[in-house]
Chains A and B, each alone.
Chain A
Amino acid sequence: MSAPLLKLTGVTKRFGGLTAVNEVSTHVDAGEIVSIIGPNGAGKTTLFNMISGVLPPTEGRIELEGRDLARVAPHDYVRHGIGRTFQNLALFKHGTVVDNILVGRHWRMKTSLVEAVFHFGRPRREEIAARERAEEIIEFLEIETIRDKVVGTLSYGQQKRVELGRALATDPKLLLLDEIVAGMNQEETEDIARFILDIRDELGVSILMIEHDMHLVMDISDRVHALNFGATITEGRPAEVQAHPGVIEAYLGAKAAAARAEPAPLLKARAG
């Protein structure tokens, strides 16, 4: 079997005396949807920041298709096929939807500073090609009607969708989604769930997502990785992780976990 798409080996991040992520090892195979769950402060976003090059790990290896990313410059992670969205919106708020998505095409384009002043020949051809790709993404995400709106004026759910589009525009092999449905209503969440499955099935992009919405996690993940205090509790199929005593304890506290004779599914009310 070939190397997994993403492989983490003993990844650790310390901020001074605080160990935010402690010896996390996991992998994402091509075509998988993997979720990372854990209570607030478990180190999920720190882990994402390391995988996307925003923060360097203190220890451990991050490999993409067998290549160590340690020596890759932060802005070059995208060239290796890592795209991401941010936990709190990180759009370019004065730009339109199209502008934002086009920034995702940035690394694919080659126009130099001097060429850009003239907008003639290559810059023009390149710009048209980038727009065509952006339009495909806009169509895929069904945001045609807001195409020319300034993103600062859009609703939260729409902005999240634009951010997803911007990440897709980078042509990722692995897409990191940081709480993409947080703050969304049921309908918006279901739309996003459908998009995530389509991104995997139609575009062939593997997905690693941080998610608090257990319903979404359980429904669409192939595997779930549970963190608490920066360390792995368990990893496995959604149902196994959901029933794991350590996970229940992390979410509900030791007492509540002990009170349950039978490990019941988390958030049973919603899942039912």
Chain B
Amino acid sequence: MRSGFYKQTIAEHLALTDSWTQRAWIAVALAALATAPFVLDTYLLTLVTLMMITAVGGIGLNILTGWTGLISLGQTGFMVLGAYGYAIPVETWGWDPLAGFLLAGLVPAAASVLVGIPSLRLTGLYLAITTLASAFIVVHLVLEFPGLTNGASGIFVNRPTVLGWTVFTDQDLFRLVAIFLVLTILGALNLRRSRIGRAWFAIRDKDDAARVMGVDLRTYKLYAFVASSFVVGLSGALYGIFLSFVTVDGFPFLLSIEALAMLIVGGMGSIAGAVLGAVFLVGLPEVVSMVFSAFGDSARALLSTGAHEVKGVLYGLVIIGFLRLQPEGLMGLWRDAQRVWTLWPLRY
């Protein structure tokens, strides 16, 4: 039984990986991402692309909810802002897509300051309702300014050309999204090990003590809003590119709930958990439809007429199940499995 990995320098403590096994697994994951476009068929490729876009959004929400302890139901609003922040400059004004991606982060980040300031004194349910309202305000604003946003008809989004690389095929889109996911994970991991990340944890766990340690609660809660919305906005832009179309209907309110469900299912406060949650929740309806088809035509017909309802019921069941049985989510299950693996046949 191994007893641990010993560190001799402080740089080793700061490193994101602490062993060769961990590095090997990361290499395997990156290799899988690199080879997937050659191996997977279009259906699976599209599914994994969607999972990755969702994971980016999940990591964004995790900064706010998982790390800082502020619940937000305004994810849809920030995704919409991100999508339009990309679509308007790139498609309408003909800007470079890179600038579009930057705006897809900056526009929601700026808007989150507006939402954040009045929300700073609120926590829990009150904050959730305030952010929920902000999502509806965003949708209304988009519909109110058709000159800029093209109103309810939306904006058609082409696949971009980034630094001379034209994203054209589904394989290319997969690669683009994979790059964004990897960069998002890296950025989030760096934030987590910085003074900023620690200040967020401190606010979540004990805000009074955090303040005595010199953490300005207002500033750092706003930071969490800004960082979270930046990332969520990026996922909105990617989603717009994925759908080839940006309209408010493309971002139903259910997305906000899905995002929270993802964190609960994956494991609150963990980046890997957000990714796992995204894989699980995006994959769930697909697996269910496969199961339903196995039961024959009548079951399939039920699913096709009531797909939306079935999905809603499923999410509900899964969330209740996890909250009741494994509040730490899939990451909790994974840690339990690791513990059993290392300690077996002993129990602890």
Q: Do A106 and B198 touch across chains, with their CB atoms under 8 A apart?
A: yes
A92-B201, A109-B195, A113-B196 known; 16 other A-B pairs, CB under 8 Å? A54-B208, A75-B216, A86-B208, A90-B209, A91-B209, A94-B204, A95-B202, A98-B13, A99-B198, A103-B201, A106-B198, A111-B195, A113-B227, A118-B190, A123-B194, A127-B14
The yes or no answer to A156 lying at the interface (CB within 8 A) is no
Say if the beta carbon of B210 comes within 8 Å of chain A: yes
B residues 225-242 touching A (CB-CB < 8 Å): 226-227
Contact between chains at B210 and A119 (CB < 8 Å): no
**In the assembled complex, A53 has its CB within 8 A of some CB on chain B:** yes
Residues of B close to A52: CB separation below 8 A = 212
- Which residues 62-94 of A have a CB within 8 angstroms of B? 73-79, 83-84, 86, 90-94
Q: Which of A78, A107, A116 contacts B194 (CB 8 A)?
A: A116
Give, as a whole number of angstroms, the nearest-CB distance from A95 to chain B. Answer: 6
B269 sits at the interface (CB 8 A):
yes
Interchain CA distance A187-B77 in the complex, whole Å: 57
- Asked whether B172 is an interface residue with its Cβ less than 8 Å from the other chain, the reply is no
What distance in Å separates the Cβ of A75 from its nearest Cβ neighbour in chain B? Answer: 5
In Å, the complex CA distance between A125 and B215 comes to 21
Give the residue name and chain of the B residue nearest to A166 (CB).
B213
- Residues on A close to B: CB < 8 A? 52-54, 73-79, 83-84, 86, 90-95, 98-99, 102-107, 109, 111, 113, 116-119, 123-124, 126-128, 130-132, 135, 166, 170
Residues on A with beta carbons closer than 8 Å to the beta carbon of B213? 78, 103-104, 106-107, 166, 170
CB distance from B244 to the nearest CB of A (A): 30
B192 to chain A: closest residue by CB: A116
Is B339 part of the contact surface with A, judged by Cβ < 8 Å?
Answer: no
Partner pick for B215 among A75, A83, A124, A127, CB 8 A cutoff: A75
* Contact, CB under 8 Å: A132 / B209: no
Contacts of A78 in B (CB 8 A): 212-214
Q: Which chain B positions have C-beta within 8 A of A170?
A: 213-214
B10 touches A131 (CB 8 A): yes
Cα separation A118 to B190 with both chains bound (whole Å): 6
Residue contact B191 to A103, C-beta cutoff 8 Å: no
Tell which of A94, A103, A113, A116 touches B210, judged by Cβ atoms closer than 8 Å.
A103
Closest to A128 in B: B10
B199 at the interface (CB under 8 A from A): yes
Q: How far is the CA of A170 from the CA of B202 in the complex (A)?
A: 15
Q: Is the pair A119, B194 in contact by a Cβ cutoff of 8 Å?
A: yes
* A117 and B223 alpha carbons, distance in the complex (Å): 12
A131 to B193, CA, bound (A): 12
Within 8 A of A (CB), among B1-54: 10-11, 13-14
Most chain B CB inside 10 Å of its own CB: which residue of A102, A119, A128, A130 = A119
Contacts of A98 in B (CB 8 A): 13
B144 at the interface (CB under 8 A from A): no
Which residues of chain A are near B196, meaning CB under 8 Å?
111, 113, 116
Given A78-B214, A107-B214, A119-B193, is A95 in contact with B198 using a C-beta cutoff of 8 Å? yes
